[in-house]
Amino acid sequence: MSVVKENDTVKVHYTGKLSNGQVFDSSLEREPLEVTLGQGMLIPGFEKGIIAMAINEKKTINIPVAEAYGDVKKELFYDVKKEQLPPEMTPEVGMGLASKGEDGREIQFRVAEVKEDHIVVDANHPLAGQDLVFDLELIEIK
């Protein structure tokens, strides 16, 4: 029986949950995720969880913070003066924002706090600091 090895290309259905059971993403209503392992496209714990799976196998994996999106980094919080925001914008906690970095790439932020004269934005991945749980089903090994 064929099982997943490093550098294989696989198709996998998944449902990602927080440790409290809240679902944050799922491929069940769309095409399965197709990815080549070993290219840094997946969080380490997800990739490790797929290794040695057989076609049609289902399993649940628990991914600790260190093998997911890492800890929340305080240095990724920034103060932004309200006058730097578009005048029509009313910032609210949780609101997503985007900005272009010096290299031209888009950077995603989330509003963490709204103060009188500035906002605090968070550039951490939204799932940073979280242990994750994934239900996996291996569909295909290419």
| Percent of the chain at pLDDT exceeding 70 | 99
pLDDT band of residue 101 (cuts 50, 70, 90) is confident
pLDDT at 22: 96
CB-CB contact of 38 with 6 (8 Å): yes
Q: What are the distances in angstroms from CA 64 to CA 7, 71, 89, 110, 134? A: 23, 10, 37, 23, 11
112: phi then psi, degrees, rounded to nearest 5: -95, -35
Please write the tens of the pLDDT for every residue from 16-73: 999 999 999 999 999 999 999 999 999 999 999 999 999 999 999 999 999 999 999 9
pLDDT of residue 30: 96
